[in-house]
């Protein structure tokens, strides 16, 4: 079977037996992920309790009504 150029340029050989999970990354993304994992401490190992996701503190910037939605869509056309 002939593989596409994109596939050949972006394929990464992974060893799935050494990890609890897997991700699909380019070489540069994989390099960045490895650097972060070596330098950082996973959130699960912090001595904190997280009860919610990210809070913006400025919901007005992210929550819009129907008329504002229509206005933004019309401007984007």
pLDDT tens, position by position, 6-42: 777 776 666 655 666 677 777 888 889 889 989 988 8
CB atoms within 10 A of CB 30: 14
Q: Domain residues for 49?
A: 5-76
Return mean pLDDT, the chain. Answer: 79
Cα-Cα-Cα-Cα torsion 43, 46, 15, 27, nearest 10 degrees, comes to 50
Q: What is the pLDDT of residue 6?
A: 78
Could you give the number of structural domains in the chain? Answer: 1
Q: What is the pLDDT of residue 35?
A: 93
Q: What is the pLDDT of residue 1?
A: 53
Predicted TM-score of the model (pTM): 0.40
What whole-number percentage of the chain has pLDDT above 90? Answer: 16
Q: What is the pLDDT of residue 60?
A: 77
């Amino acid at each position: 079977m002939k593989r596409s150029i994109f596939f050949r340029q972006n394929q990464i050989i992974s060893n799935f037996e050494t990890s609890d999970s897997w991700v699909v990354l380019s070489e540069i993304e994989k390099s960045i992920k490895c650097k972060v994992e070596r330098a950082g401490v996973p959130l699960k190992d912090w001595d904190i309790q997280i009860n919610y996701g990210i809070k913006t503190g400025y919901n007005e910037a992210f929550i819009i009504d129907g008329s504002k939605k229509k206005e933004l869509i019309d401007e984007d056309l």
